[in-house]
Chains A and B, each alone.
Chain A
Amino acid sequence: MATTVHDPPKSGIDQKHPALTTTGDGNRGGFLPVDGNLREVKHYSPPPGSTGIWVGIAAIAMTFAAFTSALIVRKGSSNDWQPFTLPIILYLNSVLLLASSVTLEVGRRRVAAFMAGVKTHRARPARWLYATLTLGIFFVAGQYAAWKQLRAQGVFLATNPSSSFFYLLTAVHALHVLGGLAGLLLVIRRLRSCVLRRSTLDIASRYWHFMDVLWLYLLLLLWMTL
């Protein structure tokens, strides 16, 4: 019963699950105290941003999942869905966005190498980040060009549910990319004034790659349904 007094539990986890003690991540997500005397449990906690970005990505993914299910239900609910050809420029935009992920990854590795003291040339990583920024801006501009092209063809937001979803999904995605661009600007500014933490860059690039994957998903969805 609740008031029974027992001996304290032996925490023999070290022997049973050696992996638990060697992760070195301060028992993050671990349910059990790792150490017997419990004073040493939490040596290290990851920067909350690296958890936070996954949480944020989960929320964004959930939002787009909701849009997707709305699209599927709306398409099936009536026979008024009129397909239209996706503007060719979208494929070019996709290449730009993919390229931006590559440049960002190169930049990130250079910054990591620079911080580890391998390379001392400071200007180079910033150059790669600028390239990413430029490609990102071109992507958003390219999306805008695609919208203008469709408008010229007489395809507007309210023309048909297919165009409604096209504008909606691309616009919400573009807004998120703009957020990523703001993050990149922050990273570049910090890099230039030498106060950049690696975790900040890691977080920003995780978000950026997610935008990339999300766009490919949206393109596939639109290509399949339009």
Chain B
Amino acid sequence: MHDMSAQAVQHHAPPTSFIGKHIFSLDHKVIGKQYYALALVAVVIGMVLSWLMRIHLAWPSAKIPLLHYLSANGAAGNVMTPEYYLQLMTMHGTIMVFFVLTTAPFAAFGNYFLPIQVGAEDMPFPHFNMMSFWVTFVSFLVMIASFFVGDGPTLGGWTQYAPLSAIGPSSGPGQGMGVVLWASSIAIFCVGQLLGSLNFITTTLDMRTRGMSLWRLPLTAWAWFITSVMGLTAFAVLMPACILLILDHVAGTSFFVASNLVISDQVQPHSGGSTLLWQHLFWFFGHPEVYIAIVPGMGIVSHVLITNMRRPLLSHRVMVYSMGALAVLSYMVYGHHMFVSGMNPFSSLVFSFPTLIITIPSTIVVLIWLGSLYGSKLRINSASLFSLGFISMFISGGVSGFFLAQPSIDIMLHATYFVVGHFHLVMAVAAIFGIFAGTYFWFPKMTGRMMNETLGKIHFWLSFVGAYCIFMPFHYLGLAGNVRRYQAFVDDYLQPLLPVHKFITVAALVTGAAQLIFLYNLVYSRFRGERAADNPWQATSLEWSTPTTPPPFDNFGGQHPVVYHDPYQFGIEASSGDYVMQNSPEEIHTVRDEK
């Protein structure tokens, strides 16, 4: 009835117009690149915001040129007000988490490579896929618009804790229209990611080509599949939460605001709402979101390392099981964000157990990487260096998680820079390193040209050392009692820590500037880079077997590949060398098949 191999391969015709090709494209590869471009714009904005914050923290009375153009009230005379600091901080977190860490490793690379890796010509619902990007784009515009509306963006932090987020303008600048725009943007974003997850799941389950059994999927495909399942359930909860928040603002409902709350000398007109309800709904999304950001990176790092080690991981299946366990457990640990929220202390204990248990699959993943690397002759290139950097960041950031997982210790460390250091290393920097690894690895396939390796290595070392210089001192600050989300530390007990803040600020400026090397490399190599071969890394998975580079519109030139081998057949003797590609019919002695 529906024989994929006999069917005409193209289920939508190639576009002919400029708009059809590059703007409202149905092609998953174009959509993937659009997501990547969006993430690139977002990460630049997010990074500049972090610079502004860091400069203000180190030199609170410093004048930052041109800042008053961004907000006449928030930066009169180019000096940031305390409120404006919080507004910029909120936007930094929101833009980075949603529009960079979710879009780049998952939506961008996943869109581009998942269909090719399973041997399909496209995702099953190309129109939904196109909508997914453009809905996300609209959500980004709505978020950015809040800079220019009324008194600027919301200052509630990316977590938008109620009740301050729910009572409107009396709780500060940006708390009226700013919050409504924030919640609307995130609700729209959820729609985009739900459409994306729908496509990812069905692609993995239904679009696999002949011979591509689930265990033959590369680890990247597994990672995207697991991430999309998390995305489907997490974003489906965040969206109703945002709807409730918007209603509290515009319709006068009382979901999140308790009775007789006095803010700015006004009794709030709401009654009986539950402030903890927002935190429950938000973190039920928020914790899986951490894994939505990091699991694709785990897939990418494994994929890149295996290719450069020239041998498979110690265990393909345990890797997959561990990523799956992370996904399942990520829903059971969210209460560890709420240890000091006033939640029943017994709940803290209950949430503490799975939080400690989730370190087990994380540790297994790390041990598989390290065990596989041990004694391997790793090819050192930009992609493999960033993969090693990912592992390093994941370990450094993960170890501090043990401390925070225990309620008794978290009571002291909560809302200090220790937490900021923890999540920046384990989630932000690690995920960004995953994105870099993916970029250096797949750039040849996406553009047909190689990136400059020397620049890539310089970029790596500056980023690697820089990231540690920025985020390691955060732990020290936190242990010293430096609370987060304060705009300045000049007049109180934290003054002795100011030199550390100055060091961090300088490190952040230098490390940020080092990213210009990457941007230059990206743009230069796109047009002037050395021409790439079809399979420059001698890799095995299907994305390297496309008839042209970059792949043609339907990926495999009018036919579906047939898959004969497990994904990572390295370290063998085959006619092509020490590896055999998945679609090669050559009979080989397979490596370490797992029964």
A interface list, Cβ under 8 A from B: 1-9, 27-33, 38-49, 51-52, 55-56, 58-60, 62-63, 65-67, 69-70, 73-74, 77-81, 157-158, 161, 164, 168, 172
Contacts and interface: CB of A to CB of B under 8 A. Distances in A.
Contacts of A30: 213-214
11 contacts: A5-B589, A29-B205, A40-B210, A41-B211, A41-B212, A42-B210, A55-B201, A62-B232, A63-B240, A67-B240, A158-B252
Nearest to A8: B590
A157 to B, nearest CB: 5
B573 to A, nearest CB: 8
B479 to A, nearest CB: 35
B277 A33 contact: no
A94 to B, nearest CB: 23
Contacts of A33: 211, 213, 216
Given A33-B213, A46-B206, A55-B202, A7 B3 contact: no
B272 A78 contact: yes
A112 B213 CA distance: 32
> B-side binding surface: helix, strand, loop or mixed?
loop
Nearest to A3: B571
B252 A51 contact: no
B47 interface: no
Contact of B210 (A39, A73, A74, A161): A39
B274 A78 contact: yes
A164 B255 contact: yes
Nearest to A65: B237
B255 A6 contact: no
B572 interface: yes
Contacts of B258: 78
Contact of A7 (B272, B564, B589): B589
B378 interface: no
Contacts of B353: none
Contacts of B3: 43-44
B297 interface: no
B152 interface: no
B239 A161 contact: no
B206 A45 contact: yes
A38 B208 CA distance: 13
Contacts of A74: 255, 272-274, 277
Contacts of A40: 210
B372 to A, nearest CB: 7
Contact of B236 (A2, A41, A66, A172): A66
Interface string B281-319: 100100000000000000000000000000111100000
Interface in B40-78: none
Contacts of A46: 2, 206
A41 B202 contact: no
A6 B593 contact: yes
B306 to A, nearest CB: 10
B253 A70 contact: no
- 4 pairs of A and B residues whose beta carbons are closest in the complex: A78-B272, A48-B124, A77-B274, A62-B236
Given A51-B202, A63-B237, 5 more contacts: A1-B592, A33-B211, A38-B564, A48-B124, A59-B194
B207 interface: yes
Contacts of A81: 272
B210 A41 contact: yes
A73 B589 contact: no
A187 B108 CA distance: 33
A47 to B, nearest CB: 6
Interface string B348-379: 00000000000000000000000010000000
Nearest to B1: A44
Interface in B547-584: 562-564, 571-572
B251 A52 contact: no
B340 interface: no
Contacts of B210: 38-42
> A-side binding surface: helix, strand, loop or mixed?
loop
Contacts of B562: 38-39
Contacts of B203: 48
Contacts of A7: 589
Contact of B590 (A6, A55, A79): A6
B232 A45 contact: no
A42 B201 contact: no
A52 B213 contact: no
A33 B210 CA distance: 9
Nearest to B217: A31
A8 B592 CA distance: 9
Contact of A77 (B194, B237, B277, B591): B277
Contacts of B241: 66, 70
A79 B2 CA distance: 58
B589 A8 contact: yes
B368 to A, nearest CB: 11
Contacts of A38: 210-211, 562-564
Contact of A55 (B2, B198, B591): B198
A59 B198 contact: yes
Given A6-B592, A62-B233, A51 B213 contact: no
Nearest to B284: A66
Contacts of A1: 592
Contacts of A168: 243-244, 247
Interface in B390-405: none
Contact of B271 (A31, A41, A65, A80): A80
Contacts of B273: 74, 77-78, 161
Contacts of B461: none
Which one of A2, A32, A42, A69 has the highest number of Cβ atoms from chain B below 10 Å of its Cβ? A2
B591 A2 contact: yes
B215 interface: yes
B571 A51 contact: no
B253 A4 contact: no
Which one of B232, B241, B255, B593 has the highest number of Cβ atoms from chain A below 10 Å of its Cβ? B255
A158 B240 contact: no
Interface string B307-334: 0000111100000000000000000000
Interface string B214-236: 11100000000000000011001
Contact of A66 (B207, B240, B571, B572): B240
A68 B277 CA distance: 12
B439 interface: no
A5 B255 contact: no
B592 A4 contact: yes
Which one of A30, A70, A172 has the highest number of Cβ atoms from chain B below 10 Å of its Cβ? A70
A146 to B, nearest CB: 18
Contact of A31 (B215, B247, B592): B215
